[in-house]
């Protein structure tokens, strides 16, 4: 291949809307071109890199017993309705009607389809365990696509799915994928960490993400410097100091003018933020009012709160909605509220004599105590972990790093097989739901992330494993030296 014949031209400067280094460099190198928001064409140089990334993925998934197949990108809506996700997933799932007036969706993931295949093809325990995978185009109507191939609407992913008899079998295949992913990302030259993660819309009992460290990453991971713990901030935990033992004091209403924020309240009363109770208000997708209470020096983690409340989504409540349950914006308190779910963070469960709102402007309550002055239907960890807080395992200060998610693994269990009726018969003829796992890697995102980690002022320095070409031959005599040109050919 002569450079003069290569389709796609280099650019002196990146377009002004390109933000990330990988985006700028891949545009300038003639590797990608935008077609629309979050939609890209891969030119020959970029496509060669992506294909090499996918070859590494294929080799490692084949190594653990994977069988490659191909599932469609257009799905009947009925199968998503069977799983319940059609009703739960928001506008990122593109829905449309075909010319026969049948409801369809563009695939953003393939759990429903592989479960449908399993219920057709698997009937006996003798057919399990099984591992199938595909590398397929997907569509997710992201509200804010950015960063070139890092966050796009049309993308390509390797999805693999494991089918097992029981949880023990799932554990084996989960560990196999974990090790395979580590090999894949090392071969691609990525610096990464593995962190605990939220299962999100996928459901299931456990999830881990493979995070490539990058100052431009959208995710934040909390890492213990001893290597003992790492988690996405969405689910990260931290060790809490035990509250000081003290007698419960009488509830006392005090006037606190112009203190609608926790910081203003603490300054006015001369108390630390940790001695206040902060109220945060949401409305769940079910329409239920969710009243979160947390210590004033901490922040509510919406992912944790969503899980603790059982809501699929949460929206900040309006002032009108807050007053409808008996609370007052800026001076809210769980004392005396009604018609709502009160979720208390663990930080306030045993903390005595906190300052809370009085549910009327300009007043607060001193010495508010859970169990005596107010009740919570749920007590859970709903606090956001931050850098400097203590590792939940060893107590060392956690550090926060930005990262890009390049892979994920999920223990789905029987979440989909029960809903869609994918069962097998055991040796005694008893029917059981197939135990499933789901594992994803975005090949385009991996490619862009490699560029994020492997570049300098002169451009991208691709690791040899994925470089578009391994050798470049240059004629120092110039193009007119026909002998050198013929030798290169």
Give pLDDT tens digits for 334-343: 999 999 999 9
Q: Yes or no: say if 139 and 153 are a contact pair by the CB < 8 Å rule.
A: yes
- Percent of the chain's residues with pLDDT above 90: 84
Which H or E element spans position 262?
A: helix 262-269
- Report the C-alpha gap between 437 and 161 in whole angstroms: 6
- Report the C-alpha gap between 29 and 12 in whole angstroms: 9
- Report the C-alpha gap between 456 and 21 in whole angstroms: 10
* pTM for this entry: 0.88
User: Dihedrals φ, ψ of 406, to 5°?
Assistant: -110, -10
User: Dihedrals φ, ψ of 487, to 5°?
Assistant: -65, -40
Asked if the peptide bond before residue 300 counts as cis, ω within 30 degrees of 0, the response is: no
Q: What local confidence, expressed as pLDDT, does residue 479 receive? A: 61
Give Cα separations from 20 to 151, 157, 430 (angstroms): 11, 21, 55
- Report the C-alpha gap between 10 and 21 in whole angstroms: 16
Q: Which domains does the chain have, with CATH numbers?
A: 3-221+403-452 (3.30.930.10), 252-380 (3.90.960.10)
Above 80 in pLDDT, residue 484? no
Nearest to 138 by CA among 113, 121, 120: 113
User: Dihedrals φ, ψ of 472, to 5°?
Assistant: -120, 125
Give pLDDT tens digits for 100-148: 999 999 999 999 999 999 999 999 999 999 999 999 999 999 888 888 8
Quote the DSSP letter at residue 125.
Answer: G
Q: Yes or no: say if 61 and 158 are a contact pair by the CB < 8 Å rule.
A: yes
Calculated CA dihedral for residues 398, 403, 407, 408, nearest 10 degrees: 40
State the residue for tokens 């029960």. Answer: 418
Confidence label for 477 from pLDDT (cuts 50, 70 and 90): low
Residue-averaged pLDDT of the chain? 93
Give pLDDT tens digits for 405-461: 999 999 999 999 999 999 999 999 999 999 999 999 999 999 999 999 999 989 999
Give pLDDT tens digits for 33-84: 999 999 999 999 999 999 999 999 999 999 999 999 999 999 999 999 999 9
| Angular region, 488: left φ>0, alpha ψ -120 to 50, beta rest | alpha
State the residue for tokens 């002032």. Answer: 319
Quote the DSSP letter at residue 31.
Answer: S
State the residue for tokens 């985006």. Answer: 23
- Report the C-alpha gap between 159 and 440 in whole angstroms: 5
At residue 138's C-alpha, the angle toward residues 137 and 140, to 5°, is 155
Q: What local confidence, expressed as pLDDT, does residue 170 receive? A: 97
Rg (CA), the chain: 27
Confidence label for 201 from pLDDT (cuts 50, 70 and 90): low
- Report the C-alpha gap between 462 and 25 in whole angstroms: 12
Confidence label for 352 from pLDDT (cuts 50, 70 and 90): very high
Residue partners of 429: CB distance under 8 A and separation at least 6: none
Above 80 in pLDDT, residue 372? yes
Tokens of 270: 């001369």
CA atoms within 13 A on the CB side of 242: 3
Q: What local confidence, expressed as pLDDT, does residue 476 receive? A: 74
Tokens of 142: 């992201």
Calculated CA dihedral for residues 186, 192, 195, 201, nearest 10 degrees: -80
Q: Yes or no: say if 402 and 214 are a contact pair by the CB < 8 Å rule.
A: yes
């Amino acid at each position: 291949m002569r450079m003069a014949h290569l389709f796609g031209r280099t650019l002196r400067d990146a377009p002004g809307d390109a933000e990330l280094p990988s985006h700028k460099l891949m545009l300038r190198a003639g590797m990608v071109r935008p077609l629309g928001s979050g939609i890209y064409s891969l030119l020959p140089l970029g496509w060669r890199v992506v294909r090499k990334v996918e070859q590494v993925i294929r080799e490692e998934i084949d190594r653990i017993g994977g069988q490659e197949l191909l599932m469609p990108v257009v799905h009947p809506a009925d199968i998503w309705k069977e799983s319940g996700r059609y009703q739960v997933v928001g506008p990122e799932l593109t829905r449309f009607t075909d010319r026969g007036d049948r409801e369809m969706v563009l695939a953003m993931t393939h759990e429903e389809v592989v479960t449908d295949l399993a219920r057709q093809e698997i009937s006996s325990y003798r057919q399990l365990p099984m591992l199938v995978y595909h590398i397929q185009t997907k569509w997710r109507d992201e509200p804010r696509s950015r960063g070139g191939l890092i966050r796009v609407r049309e993308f390509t992913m390797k999805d693999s799915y494991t089918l097992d008899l029981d949880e023990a079998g799932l554990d084996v295949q989960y560990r196999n994928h974990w090790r395979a992913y580590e090999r894949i990302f090392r071969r691609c030259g990525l610096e990464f960490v593995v962190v605990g993660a939220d299962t999100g819309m996928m459901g299931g009992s456990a999830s881990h993400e493979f995070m490539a460290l990058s100052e431009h990453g959208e995710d934040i991971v909390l890492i213990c410097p001893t290597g003992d713990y790492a988690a996405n901030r969405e689910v990260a935990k931290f060790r809490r100091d035990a509250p000081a033992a003290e007698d419960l004091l009488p509830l006392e209403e005090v006037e606190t003018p112009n203190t609608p924020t926790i910081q203003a309240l603490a300054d006015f009363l001369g108390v630390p933020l940790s001695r206040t109770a902060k109220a945060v208000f949401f409305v769940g997708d079910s329409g239920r009012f969710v009243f979160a209470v947390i210590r004033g020096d901490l922040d509510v983690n919406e992912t944790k709160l969503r899980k603790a409340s059982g809501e699929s989504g949460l929206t900040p409540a309006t002032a009108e909605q807050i007053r409808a349950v008996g609370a007052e914006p800026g001076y809210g308190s769980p004392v005396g509220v009604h018609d709502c779910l009160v979720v208390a963070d663990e930080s306030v469960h045993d903390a005595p004599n906190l300052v809370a709102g009085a549910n009327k402007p300009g007043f607060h309550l001193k010495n508010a105590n859970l169990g005596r002055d107010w009740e919570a239907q749920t007590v859970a960890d709903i606090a956001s972990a931050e850098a400097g807080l203590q590792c939940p395992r060893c107590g060392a200060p956690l550090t926060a790093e930005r990262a890009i998610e390049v892979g994920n693994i999920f223990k789905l269990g029987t979440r989909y097989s029960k809903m869609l009726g994918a069962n097998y018969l055991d040796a005694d003829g008893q029917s059981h739901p197939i135990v499933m796992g789901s594992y994803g890697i975005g090949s385009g995102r991996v490619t862009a992330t490699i560029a994020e980690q492997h570049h300098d002022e002169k451009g991208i320095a691709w690791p040899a494993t994925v470089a578009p070409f391994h050798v470049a031959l240059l004629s120092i005599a110039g193009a007119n030296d026909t002998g050198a040109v013929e030798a290169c050919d």
